[in-house]
Amino acid sequence: MDFLIQGFLKAIELLFAGDAETFSAVSATLVVSAYSLLATLAIGLPLGFCLGYFDFRFKKQVRVVVDTLLSLPTVFIGLVVYAFFTNRGPLGEWGLLFTLPGIAVGLTILALPIVIALSATAVESMDRQLRVMLISLGANRRQLFLSTLWEARLPILAAALTAFGRVMTEVGIAMMVGGNIKWQTRTITTAIALETNKGEFAMGIALGLVLLLIAFGVNVSVSSLRKRY
Amino acid sequence: MGSALYTIRGLEHVYRDKPILRIDRLEIPSGSIVGVIGPNGSGKSTFLKLAGFVEKPTAGEIIYGGKPAVPFASEVRHKVSLMPQEPFLMKRTVLNNVAYGLKIRRDLSRLEQRVHIALDWVGLDAGEFSKRPSYALSGGEAQRVALAARLILKPEVLLLDEPTASIDALSAQLIKDAALKARSEWGTTLIIASHDWQWLYGVCDRVVHLVRGRLMGSGRENIIFGPWQPGENGLWEKVLSDGQRVVVQKPPEAISAAVIDHAAIVPADRLLPSGENQVRLSGLITRLALEKASGDIVGSVLVANIPFTTTLTEKEVVESGLYPGRRVHLLYDVRNVRWF
């Protein structure tokens, strides 16, 4: 049990001493999480809205596919993204392999089904009268979309938080696509994996606690936003 | 009343392969009040949604102000407003719900003051209600807020779907008053679907009757749905819950709906005119209402559990001593029964 206590003390030391390596990993984690979350919301929310809002042929089948993609293995995503970004791959010339944007692409693929499925469920569960009301008050299509999302803001916020939690704690994609390069693409999770392999459990636990602290901070911020709006 | 604001031609709407509305032609003049009556499931709400440009019809066209219009079209988006039977309020304060339409129009001048005026129209004190969240309203208050959200837009057309159903009497009266005030102040055309036909006959310039998705006429027709069974003397009949028989000539189909255009009311203690084609039913007068457009009195007689409607003159009402609660005979001629 000593290494747990040591890990906790080490975490405080790392954060308050301003350890450069730790902050590099924290920064990389936040950057890839933010990039991927923004991309996921930009793509996933309209798709989730359409899936939940409109009735169309094969809607049920599309829903089954999206739900299935929720359990897409991260190493498989890492493998596919790696294959696309490697020099011999179709997108090799983009130079995204072993970069933070490269990791963000993989994480976006991971989080997209979460945002699509949960936002579709959120929109689907909205009262059908909302549409009638918005059109009756003069909303155009864009206003209809934005107002519906705003009315479903709490479950959509929950979807975004779920996606954020998933991308921030992901390790397979970050390891394969990012390469775990110190000072560059090393995220907190890949750093934990490395420290554990080295037998540095205390350091691994310390980094894990840092990750938890970040997650806690994000949740507290979102919770206060939820109360406000 | 002005020229035709709406011209509806060949309108058809199908839901899940089932036709639910078909209107060959209907014109609604600008500034008029049109009532829509009909039984549940007759297509009233669908008609209002189509006329409110909330949904697109399966076929046919709705010409608004001389131009064909569809949902989201700029000609109608800011002019026509529908208040559905169960008004939905957003998870916002009353103020933000009422101001929503103006905000999306970017019409923000004196916003709060205008919200207060709109709330005042529907009898809600702005000081007390404007900051209140929508979930803290009663059913009647929510309905009035929903109406205020539409009145603040000063719509050219206001469509009200059962605006007074399942709310308290005070809210119902305030909603009726506010809608009529919109018409008198801005010339708003009102299209109202309601079961409260006494109110509709009292305020409407025209009442249309929807049955099984088809326009039937003025709403004074009595529609008796099948099934019919063979009776005596080659006639067919429907046995009512109290054992009385509605007798008709042979229907096109056993499930056809019979339309009895006119039935005379005679007090039960009077001698009845005899005639082999005359059918007599016994019932109670439940309502007498003045029809604004014609000056006639519209009477409703409950026979078993079926309400019959008939038109009376003031003289008939006075001379026969007709009043709600009086037992009467209802007479009609089997040869005058139409089929629908």
Q: Which residues pair with B19 in a beta bridge?
A: B14
At A1, is the pLDDT very low, low, confident or very high (cuts 50, 70, 90)?
low
Which member of A133, A140, A141 has the closest CB to residue B88?
Answer: A133
Query: What's this model's pTM, rounded to 2 decimal places?
Result: 0.76
Condensed to tens digits (0 to 9), the pLDDT of residues A73-97 reads: 999 999 999 999 999 999 999 999 9
Residue B218 scores a pLDDT above 70: no
At B94, is the pLDDT very low, low, confident or very high (cuts 50, 70, 90)?
very high
Sheet with B337-339, side-by-side order of all strands: B222-224, B258-260, B337-339
Return the residue of B nearest to A129 by Cα: B88
pLDDT value at residue A84: 96
Residue A181 scores a pLDDT above 90: yes
pLDDT value at residue B67: 92
Which chain A residues are within 8 Å of B99, Cβ to Cβ?
Answer: none
DSSP string, B185-247: HH--EEEEE-S-HHHHHHH-SEEEEEETTEEEESS--EEE----EE-STT-EEEE-TTS-EEE
Mean pLDDT throughout B263-271? 73
Cβ–Cβ gap B101/A141 under 8 Å: no
Cβ–Cβ gap A129/B101 under 8 Å: no
At B197, is the pLDDT very low, low, confident or very high (cuts 50, 70, 90)?
confident
B329 or A104, which is more confident?
A104
Condensed to tens digits (0 to 9), the pLDDT of residues B100-140 reads: 999 999 999 999 999 999 999 999 999 999 999 999 999 99
Residue B87 scores a pLDDT above 90: no
B211 or B161, which is more confident?
B161
Asked, as a colleague might, if the bond just before B227 is cis with ω within 30 of 0, I would say: yes
pLDDT value at residue B34: 94
At B271, is the pLDDT very low, low, confident or very high (cuts 50, 70, 90)?
low
Q: What is the ipTM of this complex?
A: 0.79
At B205, is the pLDDT very low, low, confident or very high (cuts 50, 70, 90)?
confident
Selected for mutation to probe chain A from B53, B100, B134, B151 (highest A CB count within 10 Å) is: B100
pLDDT value at residue B2: 61
Residue B272 scores a pLDDT above 80: no
Please count the residue pairs, one from chain A and one from chain B, whose beta carbons lie less than 8 angstroms apart.
56
Q: Is A137 on the interface with B (CB under 8 A)?
A: yes
Which member of B52, B88, B150 has the closest CB to residue A130?
Answer: B88
pLDDT value at residue B200: 84
At B147, is the pLDDT very low, low, confident or very high (cuts 50, 70, 90)?
very high
Residue B1 scores a pLDDT above 60: no
Residue A118 scores a pLDDT above 80: yes
CA distance A148 to chain B (A): 10
Least confident of A80-84, A206-210, B227-231: A206-210
Locate the domains of chain B by residue range: 4-91+140-215, 222-339
Cβ–Cβ gap B84/A132 under 8 Å: yes
Return the residue of A nearest to B133 by Cα: A229
CA–CA distance from A138 to each of A143, B108, B150 (Å)?
Answer: 9, 15, 10
Contact criterion met (CB below 8 Å) for A51 and A120: yes
At B298, is the pLDDT very low, low, confident or very high (cuts 50, 70, 90)?
confident
Which member of A130, A133, A138 has the closest CB to residue B77?
Answer: A138
Burial annotation A97-119 (CB, 10 A radius, 16+ → b, else e): bbbbbbbbbbbbbbbbbbbbbbb
pLDDT value at residue A229: 63
pLDDT value at residue A52: 92
Homologous superfamily of B4-91+140-215 = P-loop containing nucleotide triphosphate hydrolases (3.40.50.300)
At B274, is the pLDDT very low, low, confident or very high (cuts 50, 70, 90)?
low
CA triplet B220, B257, B25: central angle to 5 degrees? 60
CA dihedral B77, B78, B79, B81 (to 10 degrees): 70
Topology at the third CATH level for domain B222-339:
OB fold (Dihydrolipoamide Acetyltransferase, E2P) (2.40.50)
Mean pLDDT throughout A48-64? 92
Return the residue of B nearest to A141 by Cα: B72
Condensed to tens digits (0 to 9), the pLDDT of residues B16-30 reads: 889 999 999 999 999
Sign of CA dihedral A192, A195, A201, A202: negative
pLDDT value at residue B209: 86
Give, for A116, the enclosing helix (H) or strand (E): helix A100-124
Which chain B residues are within 8 Å of A127, Cβ to Cβ?
Answer: 88
Q: What is the mean pLDDT of chain B?
A: 89
Cβ–Cβ gap A135/B54 under 8 Å: yes
At B260, is the pLDDT very low, low, confident or very high (cuts 50, 70, 90)?
confident
Residue B215 scores a pLDDT above 70: yes
Which chain A residues are within 8 Å of B87, Cβ to Cβ?
Answer: 129, 133
pLDDT value at residue B136: 93
A33 or B2, which is more confident?
A33
At B75, is the pLDDT very low, low, confident or very high (cuts 50, 70, 90)?
confident
Residue A159 scores a pLDDT above 80: yes
Which chain B residues are within 8 Å of A139, Cβ to Cβ?
Answer: 104
Q: Is A146 on the interface with B (CB under 8 A)?
A: no
